[in-house]
Amino acid sequence: MTWWLLVLSFVTLLLSVLVVGLLQSHAAMVRALDGLGADFGEHTRPGVGDAAVEPAGDERAATSLVAAEGGAVGMAARDVIGTDVSGNPIAIAVTRVERHTLLAFLSSGCLACHGFWEGLADPRSRAEAVGSRVSVVAVAKGVDSESPAAIAKLAGGNLATVMSNEAWDDYSVPVAPYFVLVDGRTDRVIGEGSAVTFAQLGSMLERAAADAAAARSRAASDLSRRGLLGIAGGVVDLTADSREPDTRAQERST
């Protein structure tokens, strides 16, 4: 009996040591992934048409997009300048063009970015995700932070990709993945945010398009109202005599 109790105690002690070691290893892994910007919510790896359950109501609105402090929406856009994955200088115009451009700021080490790399690199999936009228440019950090070989493998051969620390600074990108939508006709940022699923990215694009349409409608309404009021030089004379000049002349002569 004593021998059996000793064996049982030894096995229990061994299992306890193993469990403690696994817990410590898991904690270290979580800290490392968190440092890489990985998302530990319901959407660790996004994909086109993911069927994961999303938060509802106000909770979804709060988690779907995390805008940068101060926000880039409305700011003047800048063309993306950097190098390609082969180290050659490259510049992609996003201003003074007749299109919208979605800048996808992605990293090779971010788990939440992998689904976007995969989805955006495939032309068909990319069109399903953002539409055929929006150009997509993946923007990774420069060679001092990223491996060109790793970025080239993730981007494939069908996704325009720029490695540029300057672009991350220009658009004040706080995390990865992060997305900035530029209207090339107005040279302005009209949408931005951090998403972890393509559904959330689509929601951002729809909201940005609706906001831009509303802004154009307000501008057109304002111009129309100004035209009806007869504004000249910013001053409206509501007391001006509107009678015909000949009538006013006859009154003055009498």
Residue 168 belongs to a domain: yes
| Residues near 252 by beta carbon (within 8 Å), at least 6 away in sequence | none
Report the CATH number that the domain containing residue 154 is assigned in CATH: 3.40.30.10
Q: How far apart are CA 42 and CA 166, in angstroms?
A: 32
Residue 160 belongs to a domain: yes
- Scanning the structure block, which residue is given the tokens 């064996």? 7
Q: How many domains does the chain have?
A: 1
Contact 136, 201 (CB under 8 A): no
Give CA angle at 197 (38, 213), nearest 5°. Answer: 125
Residue 10 belongs to a domain: no
Contact 177, 197 (CB under 8 A): no
Residue 127 belongs to a domain: yes
pLDDT in tens, the chain (254 residues): 566 666 667 667 666 655 555 445 444 443 443 443 433 333 333 444 333 333 333 333 333 343 444 456 789 999 999 999 999 999 999 999 999 999 999 999 999 999 999 999 999 999 988 888 899 999 999 999 999 999 999 999 899 999 999 999 999 999 999 999 999 999 999 999 999 999 889 888 888 878 767 766 666 666 666 665 555 444 433 334 444 555 554 555 55
Residue 112 belongs to a domain: yes
Domain that holds residue 183: 63-218
Residue 115 belongs to a domain: yes
pTM > 0.85: yes or no: no
Q: What's the first-to-final CA gap in the chain, in angstroms?
A: 135
Residue 173 belongs to a domain: yes
Residue 21 belongs to a domain: no
